[in-house]
């Protein structure tokens, strides 16, 4: 509910409907404050300050601006303290290990110095000093590299977060536009477009919320995607979707086409596979073999292909295009429903 209010508020803000955007933003802030969801409060405080400013209420605009700045400074301070504490602990640990190692080496050298000349002892001490300096330089460089990697990771998360937010705005605009259209064919086409945008948005949401910025866990992604599509068709009480697969990570360039393919197949199934409100079941399976190829199956127990052919053909063309993009092949079986099988040769796709 908070996300829906936020999207509607931000959409009205973007198109200049400030009076209409205000109640959505205030409702969003209230829910996030009650739930303790401070991750997006700074952004919504800023939006509310902007709205009050546009409406001429500069006192409340300044009040929300101060809230945003205070919360932003608090979050930065917490992150900075944690990072500094971790770096200090790592530095002290490595420093102590270096001291212990140096002391052990010195103890061994004392026993050898008795049998070596003063010149050999001097050269050995110089060599040890060189090693110690090299170790210190390498340790310092490693710490700087870790800090830089952490900054890059935070930047990538922010980029994925902004992409997800922008896609949600596009989805909300499509929803608002669809509400003003009476033609069923156009409304269905816009709903399908909205689902495609949401399938990509979920990918970026998984990236900025997850620990691995380079890969998507597909089982959880398919479940979230299925819930979104079922909800858009109002079919979550009569159609179940099962992901029969182990946890599997794939890169974003593979996850987005796979998500769009599953989106098209589920959309076709819900539109044509279970007519007259009948109940049904959809099964999704994805696995990866030792050579790096992916195998995917999407099966339903609907009425079969005779109803699916009522589509406009764009979805079928999109599936075919995405399958070729992943260097894949596709075949279909009509037995107690519809089963679609895919094989994707990812090594061929990336020139392996």
**Region 150-158: what's the mean pLDDT?**
57
Decide: 350 and 294 in contact? Cβ < 8 Å: no
Q: In terms of residue numbers, what domain contains 324?
A: 214-349
DSSP bridge partners of 329: 343
How many Å apart are CA 101 and CA 22, to the nearest integer? 64
Give the helix/strand (H/E) hosting 174: helix 118-179
The greatest distance separating any two alpha carbons of the chain, rounded to the nearest whole angstrom, comes to: 99
pLDDT at 351 exceeding the cut of 60: no
Return the CATH number at 20.
1.25.40.10
Q: Are residues 340 and 219 in the same domain?
A: yes
pTM of the model: 0.53
Return the CATH number at 265.
3.30.565.10
pLDDT at 341 exceeding the cut of 90: yes
182 falls within a domain:
no
266 falls within a domain:
yes
29-39 per-position pLDDT tens digit: 778 777 777 76
pLDDT, position 82:
64
How many structural domains does the chain have?
2
129 falls within a domain:
no
Which residue, of 82, 108, 134, is where some domain finishes?
108
The number of beta carbons lying within 10 Å of the beta carbon of residue 306 is: 10
260-280 per-position pLDDT tens digit: 999 999 988 888 888 888 899
pLDDT, position 174:
66
341 falls within a domain:
yes
pLDDT at 142 exceeding the cut of 90: no
Which residue, of 53, 77, 108, is where some domain finishes?
108
306 falls within a domain:
yes
273-312 per-position pLDDT tens digit: 888 888 999 999 999 998 889 999 999 998 876 444 344 5
pLDDT, position 140:
72
287 falls within a domain:
yes
33 falls within a domain:
yes
127 falls within a domain:
no
How many Å apart are CA 48 and CA 53, to the nearest integer? 8
Decide: 251 and 289 in contact? Cβ < 8 Å: no
Which residue, of 83, 108, 133, is where some domain finishes?
108
């Amino acid at each position: 509910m908070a996300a829906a209010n936020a999207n509607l508020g931000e959409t009205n803000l973007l198109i200049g409907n400030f009076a209409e955007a205000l109640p959505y933003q205030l409702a969003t802030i209230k829910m996030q404050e009650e739930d303790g969801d401070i991750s997006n409060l700074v952004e919504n405080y800023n939006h509310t300050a902007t709205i009050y400013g546009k409406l001429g209420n500069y006192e409340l605009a300044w009040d929300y601006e101060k809230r945003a700045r205070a919360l932003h400074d608090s979050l930065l301070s917490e992150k900075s303290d944690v990072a500094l504490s971790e770096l200090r602990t790592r530095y002290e640990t490595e420093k102590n290990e270096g001291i212990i190692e140096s002391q052990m080496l010195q103890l061994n050298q004392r026993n050898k110095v008795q049998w070596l000349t003063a010149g050999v002892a001097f050269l050995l001490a110089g060599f040890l000093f060189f090693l110690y300096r090299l170790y210190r330089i390498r340790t310092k460089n490693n710490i700087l590299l870790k800090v830089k990697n952490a900054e890059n990771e935070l930047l990538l998360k922010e980029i994925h977060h902004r992409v997800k937010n922008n896609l949600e705005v596009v989805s909300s605009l499509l929803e608002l536009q669809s509400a003003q259209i009476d033609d069923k064919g156009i409304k269905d086409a816009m709903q399908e477009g909205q689902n495609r945008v949401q399938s990509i948005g979920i990918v970026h949401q998984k990236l900025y919320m997850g620990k691995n910025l380079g890969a998507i866990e597909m089982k959880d992604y398919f479940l979230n995607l299925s819930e979104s599509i079922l909800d858009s068709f109002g079919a979550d009480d009569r159609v179940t979707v099962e992901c029969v697969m182990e946890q599997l990570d794939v890169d974003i360039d593979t996850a987005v086409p796979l998500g769009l393919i599953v989106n098209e197949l589920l959309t076709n199934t819900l539109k044509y596979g279970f007519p007259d409100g009948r109940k049904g079941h959809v099964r999704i399976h994805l696995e990866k073999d030792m050579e790096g190829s992916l195998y995917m199956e999407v099966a339903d127990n609907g009425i079969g292909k005779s109803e699916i052919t009522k589509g406009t053909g764009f979805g079928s063309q999109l599936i075919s295009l995405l399958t070729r993009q992943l260097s894949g092949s596709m075949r279909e079986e009509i037995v107690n429903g519809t089963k679609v099988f895919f094989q994707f040769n990812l090594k061929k796709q990336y020139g392996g």
